[in-house]
Amino acid sequence: MWNMAFWKDRALGAGLHSALFLVSILASSGPAVQAQEAGAKEGAAQPEQAVTQSTNAPTRHHALSLVGEPKMPPDFKNFDWANPDAPKAGELRQSVMGSFDSLNTFSIKGQAADGVGLIYDSLMSSSPDEPSTEYGLIAEWASYPDDYSSVTFGLRPEARWHDGKPITVDDVIFSLDALKAAHPQYAFYYKNVVKAEKTGDNEVTFRFDIKGNRELPQIVGQLTILPKHYWEATDAQGAKRDITKSSLEIPLGSGAYKIKSFDAGRKITYERVADYWAKDLPVQKGLWNFNEISYTYFRDMTPAFEAFKAGDVDVWNENSANRWATQYGFSAVKKGLVKKEQLKNGRVAGMQAFALNMRRPQFADPRVRQAFNLAFDFETLNKTLFYGQYIRTGSFFANSELAATGLPQGREMEILETLKDEVPPEVFTTEWKNPTAATGMDHRNNLRKAIKLLGEAGWTIKGGKLTNAKGQVLAAEFLLVQPDFERIVLPYIEDLKKIGVDARARIVDTSQYKRRLDSFDFDIIIASFGQSHSPGNEQRDFWGSDAAKRDGSRNVAGISNPAVDKLIDAIILATDREDLVAATRALDRVLLWNHYVVPQWYYPYDRLASWQRFGRPEKLPSQQPGTVLTWWYDAEKAASVAQGKGR
């Protein structure tokens, strides 16, 4: 399951201040931005019920969770991390890197504007304080049979589009079909959802082609609901609307905000819908408190940060350890007008890495890929550029119980034993660890090991460059979208050159980067594979063989491995939490020992700087800062900031 709480906040409120934002946006421009994270209770037990039907009817659930009981009972008034009395006022101004040329966030075509997810609602709404948990939004309740072969949702009769028309079962059915047609990620994610049909007044049932997948009822709850009457009508020019194409026509939504204005590629502003149909529901009470939310686009991080320092951007989510350590001595910080803080989060760290494209022949051999990891000197980089702040990523599910540790045991070993002849033998004999280089000698030894592995793979150094028997040179181009990452990549390139790799970096603009990413036209990129506490169907898109052949998928490494496919199925069909954790650890271990990526680093905190114009709940959600979702504009604080800036 996608980490919806994290991605929704990143895409809607925290900003994507990262050199890998276009890779990450593969998750956040698809279901992850628009949808909300869903779940089912740990094991086969049923979540707390909200309403019951007849004795033999399935339980109607007000909320679903994959990692335990939903925290909030059926009669809850508001989330305990929200302020139900928060004032509705003011503006939140944010910065975004890159550009946009579309307001249709569902199509694979074009680059959608940030925050478009604000205008839409989904069937259920995530709780960013509870991993893999969602509560009813458009849907008042959800029910499913014991074999998880379908899920039924009861729609709230008061749910409305911004034009005042009701949200209907027909809209829900249309949404499933339209989204699957608009983007391959939706088609893949909802692959097992084969049909949606009306089964009662305000009731819709989704049928699955598989049984026993506990996650399917929940991921259907993530479905963004679209207005059928809008998309089947014509635009102002009389042309029929097409959800598969990019468009700058302002779309119709049902969410807490609507688009107020935009300047394509430069800025977009959203305004709060005063009569938002769900504003008094417990699941929305005290949320979405800004009258306006705007995103200003920058081509480079430096002017964006200068805009923040000048007070033209309100909140800055820092992704640079260097900047965090060295560039916050400006006067507003010293005066207390800007607050700098580190907020501990409970998210699964996932894998941020150099992804090696195995569609390229030079990366087909795992020994070559392992050599690339040996050549990466993280320790020196962490010391010289990152001020020792980062932790080297040693798992695809770091910072969680899902990460493989030690040697496989118990249920994990049982799962791996069924694949003994299909996975690297080290899976059973050796704990996977990144190479380390505490000293310069350690690093030189790692480079020697890399050269040895490359030799075993058939590459020899001729004229200073690795060459195979066909006379081909081992070349590797790092495709980058932001200059900030060049300072990190260049030292790595120099080390690769020392072992004979013809390495180089190339920086392209966002539109070219996306085109090349979608068609897998690259050697190496910086990729981020966001994970949740309840992995499931999305693992197919990350690592599955079918996804490796499908343009626009998130299997950027081109992994096509039957053993990996079987482990993904074991995760998806896990019968309880224990089985899920064991299967995920097995997958983690097999991915690591195949050396598909060169792991980078993670930081278990959100580094946040903000102008002190805002109020926020005493308790923030555990999975994300909740900037857009839970904060509010404080007029008195804003006046104090204005006075302080004038001194």
Q: What average pLDDT does this structure show over 601-628?
A: 93
Nearest CA to 348 out of 421, 385, 403 is that of: 403
Mean pLDDT, range 467-478, rounded to an integer: 97
Domain ranges of the chain: 4-11+28-85+118-249, 352-458+517-602
Cα–Cα distance for residue pair 629/634, rounded to 1 Å: 15
- Say whether 352-458+517-602 and 4-11+28-85+118-249 share the same fold: no
Cα distance between the two ends of the chain: 50
Q: Which secondary-structure segment (H or E) carries 228?
A: helix 228-231
Give phi and psi for 349, each to the nearest 5: -70, -30
Range 118-127 average pLDDT: 96
For residues 160 and 256, the answer to whether their CB atoms sit within 8 Å is no
Confidence (pLDDT) at 629: 96
Reading phi first (left if > 0) and then psi (alpha if -120 to 50, else beta), residue 16 is in beta
Average pLDDT of the residues of the chain: 90
Q: How far apart are CA 221 and CA 33, in angstroms?
A: 14
Indicate whether 510 pLDDT > 80.
yes
| Secondary structure of residue 209 in the 3-state scheme | coil
CATH T-level fold of 352-458+517-602: Dipeptide-binding Protein; domain 3 (3.10.105)
Q: What is the pLDDT of residues 15-45, one digit of tens each?
A: 323 333 233 323 333 332 222 222 332 233 3
* HEC readout, 370-414: HHHHHCCCHHHHHHHCCCCCCEECCCCCCCCCCCCCCCCCHHHHH
460: pLDDT strictly greater than 70: yes
Do residues 431 and 408 make contact, with C-beta atoms less than 8 angstroms apart?
no
Q: What pLDDT score was predicted for residue 53?
A: 40
| pLDDT-above-70 percentage for the chain | 91
Averaged pLDDT for residues 625-632: 95
Q: Is the pLDDT of residue 560 over 70?
A: yes
Q: Are strands 139-143 and 150-155 parallel, antiparallel or unpaired?
A: antiparallel
- Span of 8-22, 194-208, 491-505 with lowest mean pLDDT: 8-22
β-sheet bridge partners, residue 83: none
pLDDT at 206: 98
Q: DSSP assignment of 557-612, as one string?
A: T----HHHHHHHHHHHT-SSHHHHHHHHHHHHHHHHHTT-EEE-EE-SEEEEEEES
Query: Where is pLDDT greater, at 187 or 374?
Result: 374
pLDDT at res. 68: 79
- Find the farthest-apart pair of alpha carbons in the chain and give their distance in angstroms, rounded: 80
Kind and range of the H or E run holding 181 = helix 169-182
CB 325 within 8 A of CB 629: no
Does position 50 have pLDDT exceeding 80, yes or no? no
**Please, which pLDDT band fits residue 65 given cuts at 50, 70 and 90?**
confident
Query: What pLDDT was estimated at residue 204?
Result: 98
How much is the pLDDT for 646? 75
Is a pLDDT exceeding 80 seen at residue 51? no
Summarised one tens digit per residue, pLDDT across range 84-97 is 999 999 999 999 99
CB atoms within 10 A of CB 147: 11
What is the Cα–Cα distance from 174 to 188, expressed in whole angstroms?
A: 17
The pLDDT, as a whole number, for residue 37 is 29
4-11+28-85+118-249 CATH choice from 3.30.420.40, 3.60.20.10, 3.40.190.10, 1.10.30.50: 3.40.190.10
Q: Could you give the 3-state DSSP secondary structure of residue 298?
A: strand
**Mean pLDDT of the 410-428 span:** 97
What is the length of the chain?
647
Position 14 pLDDT exceeds 80: no
User: Residue 104 above 50 pLDDT?
Assistant: yes
pLDDT band at 52 (very low <50, low <70, confident <90, very high): very low
Please give the pLDDT value at position 56: 61
d(CA 169, CA 198): 6
And the tokens for 240? 């029929």
Provide the 3-class DSSP secondary structure of residue 123. coil
SS (H, E, C) 398-457: CCCCCCCCCCCCHHHHHHHHCCCCCCCCHHHHCCCCCCCCCCHHHHHHHHHHHHHHHHHC
CA-to-CA distance for 258 and 251, rounded, in angstroms? 9
In three-state secondary structure terms, 126 is strand
How large a percentage of the chain has pLDDT more than 90? 80
- Residue 25 pLDDT: 28
**In angstroms, rounded to a whole number, what is the distance separating the alpha carbons of residues 338 and 316?**
10
pLDDT at residue number 413: 98
Q: What is the pLDDT of residue 19?
A: 31
Residue 293: C-alpha distances to residues 89, 212, 296, 340 (Å): 11, 42, 10, 21
Q: Which residue has the tokens 């006379």?
A: 471
| pTM score of the predicted model | 0.77
Which of 503, 496, 497, 473 has its CA nearest to residue 373? 496
Other CB atoms within a 10 A radius of the CB of residue 119 amount to: 22
